[in-house]
Copies of this chain bind each other. A is one copy, B any other.
Amino acid sequence: MKTDIEISQNANLEHITKVANQIGIENEDLEQYGNYKAKVDYSDADIPANHKLILVTSINPTAAGEGKTTLTIGLGDAFKHINKKCAIALREPSLGPVMGIKGGATGGGYAQVAPMEDINLFFTGDFSALTEAHNTLSALIDNHIQHGNKLNLDPRQITWKRVLDINDRELRQVVIGLGGRTSGTPRQDGFDITVASELMAILCLSKNLSDLKQRISKILIGYTYDKQPVTVKDLGVTGALALLLKDALKPNLVQTLEHTPAFVHGGPFANIAHGCNSILATKAALKSADYTITEAGFGADLGGEKFLDITAPKIGKMPDSVVIVATVRALKLNGGVSKDELDKENVTALKKGADNLGRHIENMKQYGKPVVVAINKFVSDTPSEIQALKDYISEHNVKGILADVWAKGGAGATELASELVNTCDQKAEFKPLYNQDDDILDKLTKIVTNIYGGNKVELSGKAQRQLKNYRKRGWNKLPICVAKNQYSFTDDAKKLGAPNDFTIHVREFQPKLGAGFIVALTGKVLTMPGLPSHPAALDMDIDNDGKITGLF
């Protein structure tokens, strides 16, 4: 059996100009990066009213892998098999995790976007530009303090940390500015992973260059000794930061192994950020194809909720259908089966774990749009297990459709694609979860009770003080972006399935005034991951002819 990278390396890709031309993108709107990657200059794209948007989300991810990206890509290819024009919009992978745990973000088997080595490494440099822009702002802040501190910034209250696109736990908490007067002001600081940067969120939510600048100018960098907020605008460096992001703002175009166009752009994690690709990428796809498939990170409780409450309103178009990806294996794991026992048939555990899926189905149905479950097939699934799962799904009055894109590519998801063509034509009103001008505590409570299935929200002392402060400043009407572990509906990663009667603990809020939302940090969620004891980097190699191994 071929590995993902072998399948990708043997693929016959089309020249990127051909892929672009097929969906009406002219060469003058393309900036080529080699033969198979391009940036597209497509800000302020108009979306034809009859073009459809499909959101792919999933159950809570598990160590068993639910294959959401693979399904998204295969589904995109399936539309071609039923003679419909389709484009895909996806997030870019972060290099930190690529070096850590095997598993890139370009799909798998015969459902991949390509060239996978490039996309999983530096691609077109977007994350590098974000890292550089973020840390340039950090340097400019400390440099301002060094040269007289006209703004009266309090070094103890700088909220703008530093970032690297690397899993590096050693940099989570640091002391900087040591070495005496000529080497800065000693203070506490920390590094986040680049995908957690507010600039990443801003890049993904900006409609155009002017919107990008507007958002950058509003970024909160810290407070004065008098506790007054200080922004990028106050520091006077909006232009320099926008300039560093000028190319990163343009969506990247690549293709699937079956030549379906894929806009792969932006990549905030859904556990610590809003978790969706850029709205410019989704809009470029919507403009150019009749059907656009986009994916939101992690489960429907995180990426799904954030797409519907934060991102879609900014695109100006709600999804016409929602697909929830589930696998027999992941649900068995939710039902208490250990990882080693997943290959054995276990209908009882599956039925128990399926409650995780059930809650996600009901959650997505709340928003008013048609919901379909995609059962992503694995070799170990037995007919009784698949039947039991389909029965469970029917009880929730939605369709569960088997898809096998890993082995068959687009041909493995034609039934799912046909069903979505039907559901997208249904008239259905979008029902928002909360009103945009609810107080953030009300918004948060609605997410916790109506989506997670918990009882209540508990704010730490710090979070309570922050909330009071935000109400005074008028920041309390912003959308809320919950930072929570992805494995559980609760803030404890070990509680699988569909737990009830729990509390969500908010340890602190972070105002992301440029992105336009307030982050609520819950439980122990970390904004800088670490590497495992055997990082994937140890198994990577490149031979003298440039052939890569060990990248998955």
Q: Which residues of A contact B (CB under 8 A)?
A: 31-35, 95, 99, 121-122, 125, 128-129, 131-132, 135-136, 138-140, 142-143, 146-148, 164-179, 182-185, 208-210, 213, 236-237, 239-240, 242-244, 246-247, 530-533, 535, 537-538, 540-542, 544-546, 548-551
Contact of A136 among B99, B129, B545, B549 (CB under 8 A): B99
Bound complex: CA A220 to CA B213 (Å) = 43
Enumerate chain B residues within 8 angstroms of A541, measured Cβ to Cβ: 239-240, 242-243
Would you give the shortest CB distance from A18 to chain B, in whole angstroms? 15
Would you give the shortest CB distance from A509 to chain B, in whole angstroms? 20
Contact of A173 among B139, B183, B540 (CB under 8 A): B183
Residue of B nearest to A540 (CB): B240
Stoichiometry (number of copies)? 2
In the A-B complex, the 7 residue pairs with the closest CB atoms: A239-B541, A128-B128, A170-B184, A173-B179, A240-B537, A142-B170, A139-B168
Contact of A139 with B125 in the complex, beta carbons under 8 Å: no
8 residue pairs of the A-B complex, CB under 8 angstroms, read A33-B34, A122-B129, A147-B532, A175-B178, A209-B544, A213-B544, A239-B542, A240-B538
Bound complex: CA A459 to CA B155 (Å) = 39
Contact of A551 with B175 in the complex, beta carbons under 8 Å: no
Would you give the shortest CB distance from A15 to chain B, in whole angstroms? 11
Would you give the shortest CB distance from A125 to chain B, in whole angstroms? 4
Bound complex: CA A518 to CA B68 (Å) = 50
Output the residue of A99, A146, A537 with the most chain B CB within 10 A. Answer: A537
Given A132-B166, A208-B544, A540-B243, check contact A176 B184 (CB 8 Å): no
Contact of B31 with A533 in the complex, beta carbons under 8 Å: no
Residue of B nearest to A534 (CB): B147
Q: A173-B178, A213-B544, A240-B538 are in contact. List 19 more A-B contacts (CB 8 A).
A: A31-B34, A122-B247, A125-B128, A128-B131, A132-B165, A135-B166, A135-B168, A143-B170, A146-B169, A148-B533, A170-B176, A173-B179, A174-B176, A213-B542, A239-B541, A242-B541, A243-B540, A243-B542, A246-B548
Enumerate chain B residues within 8 angstroms of A247, measured Cβ to Cβ: 122
Enumerate chain B residues within 8 angstroms of A169, measured Cβ to Cβ: 142-143, 146, 182-184
Given A132-B166, A135-B164, A169-B184, check contact A143 B531 (CB 8 Å): yes
Contact of A236 among B136, B179, B538 (CB under 8 A): B538
Contact of A172 with B184 in the complex, beta carbons under 8 Å: yes
Contact of A243 with B548 in the complex, beta carbons under 8 Å: yes
Enumerate chain B residues within 8 angstroms of A174, measured Cβ to Cβ: 174-178
Given A99-B240, A132-B128, check contact A168 B542 (CB 8 Å): no
Enumerate chain B residues within 8 angstroms of A530, measured Cβ to Cβ: 143, 146, 182-183
Contact of A122 with B121 in the complex, beta carbons under 8 Å: no
Enumerate chain B residues within 8 angstroms of A546, measured Cβ to Cβ: 209, 246
Contact of B32 with A147 in the complex, beta carbons under 8 Å: no
Enumerate chain B residues within 8 angstroms of A164, measured Cβ to Cβ: 135
